[in-house]
Chains A and B, each alone.
Chain A
Amino acid sequence: MALEQSFVGREYPPESVYEVGREKIREFAEAIGDPRPEYLDVEAAKALGYADVVAPPTFTTIVNLASINRIVNDPELGLDYSRMVHGDQSFTHHSPVVAGDRLAVTTVVESVSRRAGNDFITLKAEIRTESGEPRVTTRALLVVRDAEQEQA
């Protein structure tokens, strides 16, 4: 089933604020097996010039995914979540994400398309602090695999 084209250009303003915690950074760093001192130790982070412990490069997947889920679960879009896979992802860092940052995410639907029975949707998220300082721009391409093709 094709996705609703009218979603292209739709903008989702921040729904809430995500406060980055030291222990969440630690948990994430440990889950990806990257226990660098600047992720775990405030003094080590400060020695490198960061205001507090810094987040690993893909940490903002946490807030990015929350914004993705909010959009793809919108019944009007017509997306079968169980057939959705992540196609690609990018992170462009404007300034380091550190513990204590209060992040707000604005997401835009950049494109909706269909090729060979599969549906594609691209979402771009601007992650800024509550006061508007840019932190990270993310882009996700999501693919909804064709159900009929598989059954055939």
Chain B
Amino acid sequence: MSEIAVGDVLPELRVRITRADLVRYAGAALDFNPIHWNEAFAKGVGLPDVIAHGMLTMALAGRVVTGWGVGALVDYQARFTRPVVVPNDDTGALVELSGKVGAILEDGTIRVDLSAKFDGRAVLGKAIAIVRP
């Protein structure tokens, strides 16, 4: 494999999240919080509409790293800074995921700084993956 350097950009990913995707993820992750599938409930607790699971967005951003294929993701953290609002239509919410090499650490692992955007704004903060090649 060619040398990996700080500043390298990982292949970007664009994913549309629909209500059906939320239902599927809820079942797979066993996360049945109604803010992720029940519009009336979500609005009742002050949210604009149904929102995606933060953990789903985190998993999608993780795909930028697993798809890169350089090594195993050994440490992964993210802050959920803004909700991904998912309308009740076939188009869903477009989430744009990207990453770049932030540092090569002393133990040979690679720090990847990830970004997830919805409506042009960051929905994850301090999203950092440590990859062991």
Chain B CB within 8 A of A150 CB: yes
Our pick among A32, A57, A65 for the contact of B73 (Cβ within 8 Å) is A57
Cβ contacts under 8 Å, A31 to chain B: 21, 24-25, 27-29, 56
Interface string of A134-152 (1 = CB under 8 A from B): 0000010000010000100
Q: Which of B33-89 contact A (CB under 8 A)?
A: 41, 45-46, 54-56, 58-60, 62-63, 65-67, 72-80
Which residues on A are within 8 Å of B, measured CB to CB? Answer: 24, 27-28, 30-34, 36, 56-58, 61-62, 65-66, 82-83, 85-93, 96, 139, 145, 150
The interface centre, meaning the residue of A31, A61, A91, A139 with most chain B CB atoms within 10 A of its CB, is A31
Q: Known contacts A90-B76, A91-B76, A93-B73; can you find 9 more A-B pairs with CB under 8 A?
A: A31-B21, A56-B66, A57-B73, A57-B76, A61-B55, A65-B31, A82-B45, A89-B54, A92-B75
A89 touches B59 (CB 8 A): no
B30 at the interface (CB under 8 A from A): yes
A28 contact set on B, CB distance < 8 A? 28-29
B58 touches A58 (CB 8 A): yes
Docked-complex contact B59 and A86, CB < 8 angstroms: no
Contacts of B21 in A (CB 8 A): 31
* CB-based contact A86/B55 at 8 Å: yes
**Is A34 in contact with B75, judged by CB distance below 8 angstroms?**
no
Docked pose: A33 CA to B60 CA in angstroms? 8
Q: Judge if B15 is at the interface, Cβ distance under 8 Å.
A: yes
Report the number of A-B residue pairs with Cβ-Cβ less than 8 Å.
Answer: 93
In the assembly, what is the distance between CA of A93 and CA of B129, in Å? 11
Which residues of A lie under 8 Å from residue B74 when comparing CB positions?
A: 92-93
Residues of B within 8 A of A86 (CB): 54-55, 80
Q: Is the CB of B60 within 8 A of A32?
A: yes
**CA–CA, A56 and B28, complex, Å:** 12
Given A89-B54, A93-B74; A34-B59 close (CB under 8 Å): yes
Given contacts A86-B80, A88-B77, A91-B77, contact A27 B59 (CB under 8 A): no
- Measured between beta carbons, the chain A residues less than 8 angstroms from B67 are 34
Q: Is the CB of B55 within 8 A of A58?
A: yes
| Contact (Cβ within 8 A) A89 B75 | no
Once bound together, how far apart are the Cα atoms of A61 and B30, in whole Å?
9
Interface centre among A24, A33, A62, A83 (most CB of B within 10 A): A33
The answer to whether A58 touches B30 (Cβ under 8 A) is: no
Chain A residues with Cβ below 8 Å from B45 are: 82-83
Q: How far is the CB of A139 from chain B (nearest CB, A)?
A: 8
Contacts of A83 in B (CB 8 A): 45
CA of A139 to CA of B78, assembled, Å: 11
B56 to chain A: which residues have CB within 8 Å? 31-32
